[in-house]
Chains A and B, each alone.
Chain A
Amino acid sequence: MKIGVFVCHCGENIGRTVNCPEVSKACASFPGVVHSEDYKYMCSDPGQNLIKQAIREKHLDAVVVGSCSPHMHEKTFRKACASAGINSYMVEIANLREHCSWIHEDIAEATKKAIDLMRFAVERVKFNHPLQTIKVPVTKRSLVIGGGISGIQAALDIANAGFEVVLVEKEPSIGGHMSQLSETFPTLDCSQCILTPRMVEVYQHPKIKLLSYSEVENVEGFIGNFKVTIRRKAKSVKEELCTGCGLCAEKCPIKKKALSEFDEGLSNRSAIYVPFPQAVPNVPVIDRSVCTYFKTGKCEMCKKVCGREAIDFTQQDTFVTEDVGSIIVATGYKLYSIEKKPEESIYKGYGEYGYGKYKNVINGLQFERIASASGPTSGEILRPSDKTEPKKIVFIQCVGSRDESKGFSYCSKICCMYTAKHAMLYKHKVHDGEAYVFYMDIRSGGKNYEEFVRRAIEEDHVNYIRGRVSKIYEEDGKLIVKGEDTLAGLPVVIEADLVVLATAMIAQQEAPKLAQTLNISYDKYGYFQEAHPKLRPVETNTGGVFLAGACHSPRDIPESVAMASAAAAKSLVLFGADMLEREPIIAKVDESTCAGCFYCQKVCAYNAIEKKEIRDRQGNLKKVVAFVNSGLCQGCGTCNATCPSKSIELIGFNDDQIFAQINAFAEV
């Protein structure tokens, strides 16, 4: 076998700590290597041409490239080699950048390691076989999980391109957190006014199937061919009969018992309810935990008043399965509740700011509801305890965020902007009021963002105090806020009527569970992980699963919308082709040695192992062996490691290839 070796300097990225000419020279002496050279940028056009030229001139059978991570440019080099006539699976990548030059400082050590990594790859490639990609059809439908602004945007983009979308929302209505907001920064336009038309568009779109009050239960399959099971939670209302007249909610006798989730607990709702008047779909659900009928078996008031006979107390959760080709995850965020330690969390949590203890200490979303025209106070700024107008209001930023000792080390990103907005809205409505903002830094990067904050300070005279608040306690109906002005070097005491905490945005509690269902990665905070921080920000490591919005990291509305459109575009790229190419990394059975013990079947997570009968010419059964269904096999190789007779091997990662690498370890 004639092997060509190519060592990339990656500009200075590899070349600075790895002596590439020396690596190339060392590789030239490896058995089987007939060509070895190094070049500044192997992935560039001239670099690729070097490889192609060498393949043609020296009739190479295999190529080893020492460059960046295979996750980065394996495809590039495979394509280049294929165009020069060798099978793209006869290419191996040695990771000299992420796993060597970038993590080591000593040139001698790094160079030695680079030579070892090259040797591993050269030894391995000797056992590579030419492979053909597997072609699979694409289901040109998309699943969007989460019906907030990100999910709505992604669903509309895909549907408007002419493809079907299944939109799953766990709450009774789509709209997400954006529907709770009063006004939006930096334009102060009304959130509902720009959102609700889109919600209606989703509902009326012929290509969008909206499944509200539903959750993703299970996901099987792979890119282009997912099979998703969705739990449709029992609404206790027949959706197809309900006209959304609202009489049931009006007549429900337990009006005051349940707290409204939409108003963040600042108002009450009935047991049968729609979260808010503009809800989409405008179909109520019964909260069985508070409903008198479900608790005592008596009442049925809603059933009596419903002229359409839409109420159905016997309804059960149902399951539907949907075939889709791509999945967009847009599950959003929640606010860090600082009243107590988050459940099952390693974080200590605040307690001293009195949230949950003092009625007049509220969080940002609660202030949004108070400031909203559709909120519990109809937009009048009234404090929760006695419904009076607060004359002094204190906003505290970075509660839980940028705080490694008690909260989360990351910046929640949107709080600087929404606090400025809150202070402004307050000043616009309470002209004689005083607003104070405690901040650590003002982070207002974004179009017209800095100007917006300056406007709050200069035009609306909001008092910005740089420093932290150490304590809040209640005295004679006032909240005594004690803090420090670090610029003046003085302690500050403010007798406030209302305190608004800009608590951290955190990942949804169910995010890790959903990540496991989808087989995607998540970070230590529960935010979903992108495939590459710069170049693949909306893709995940699992093909066909994309991310949109605040489920990835804290982000504001324009960023979420942009990310959602990007995720939609990525889905549409998939739908552009009729057939998808899949890596041919799947298991294969050697039928002559397979003893038919079917241990492989027991460990296979995909039910990809079937039984195959071997018969002689007369039709007599000789033996039963394992058979791999190539459509189901995902190529994990657990069967390969389990098989006692080594009769099943994972193509592309077979024993010969891995042992070749291990044997090469002897020369390290």
Chain B
Amino acid sequence: MEEKFEPKIAAFVCNWCTYTGADLAGTSRLKQEANARLIRVPCTGRIDPVFIIKAFENGADGVLISGCHPGDCHYNAGNFHARRRWILFKNLLDFIGIDSSRLYFSWVSASEGKKWVDIVDGVIDAVRIKGPFKQYKKMNKEIEIPVAVEEGVSVK
């Protein structure tokens, strides 16, 4: 019997707004699904596009990025730089073979615990419908072929 697919979500969140908003969701005991793993960064401006690619490479079925609302950045403008970066980066994602619709952005402030829960659950549901993200794993396998041959294992 095939096991039910449960998506893995990597979430990069800024320390000041979304991480604190997620803390508030916890303090308010707002229940959410357990598929997301948060990685805290000081600011969304700190998020290097390579982080996102690496997250997909390491098995994430979806990536969620969330920071302060435009204009509310704790560091004045970090989220604006992040936003500009992603506009360019989204096109690149499709080019390198990652379905860019698996990448989600949101703005969640420190007071929006409920919004955070809705977003996380929404992303999990959406990715669950999309199914597992296999392209990268397949690519990794193809790259591994020569190594396998060297070891004398026949690979089809």
Interface residues of A (CB under 8 A from B): 69-71, 95, 97-100, 102-106, 109-110, 112-113, 116-117, 120, 512, 515-516, 519, 521-524, 529, 533, 541-542, 585, 603, 605-606, 634-638, 640-642, 650, 653, 655, 658-659, 661-663, 665-666, 668
Contact = CB atoms under 8 A, between A and B. Distances in A.
Q: Which of A109, A523, A533, A665 has the most CB of B within 10 A?
A: A665
Contacts of A529: 109-111
Contact of A105 (B17, B19, B27, B31): B31
B107 to A, nearest CB: 12
23 contacts: A70-B40, A97-B26, A98-B22, A98-B26, A102-B27, A103-B29, A104-B34, A109-B34, A521-B111, A541-B20, A585-B42, A603-B77, A605-B76, A637-B43, A637-B45, A637-B46, A638-B75, A638-B77, A640-B48, A641-B48, A641-B49, A653-B41, A668-B37
A636 B43 contact: yes
B26 A102 contact: yes
A120 B46 CA distance: 18
A638 B30 CA distance: 32
Given A102-B26, A634-B75, A668 B46 contact: no
B72 A521 contact: yes
Given A523-B109, A650-B46, A662-B54, 9 more contacts: A69-B26, A70-B40, A71-B19, A98-B25, A104-B33, A516-B72, A521-B16, A521-B110, A603-B81
A99 B10 contact: no
B58 to A, nearest CB: 4
B85 interface: yes
Contacts of A71: 19-20, 23
Nearest to B29: A102
A103 B37 contact: no
Interface in B111-129: 111-112, 117
A446 B130 CA distance: 54
A662 B58 contact: yes
Interface string B74-89: 1111100110010000
A159 B46 CA distance: 41
Contacts of B46: 636-638, 640-641, 650, 653
B51 interface: yes
By Cβ-Cβ distance, the 6 closest A-B pairs, closest first, are A98-B26, A637-B46, A638-B45, A636-B75, A523-B111, A605-B76
A523 B115 CA distance: 12
B38 interface: yes
A523 B110 CA distance: 8
Contact of A519 (B19, B33, B47, B74): B74
B60 A541 contact: no
A665 B8 contact: yes
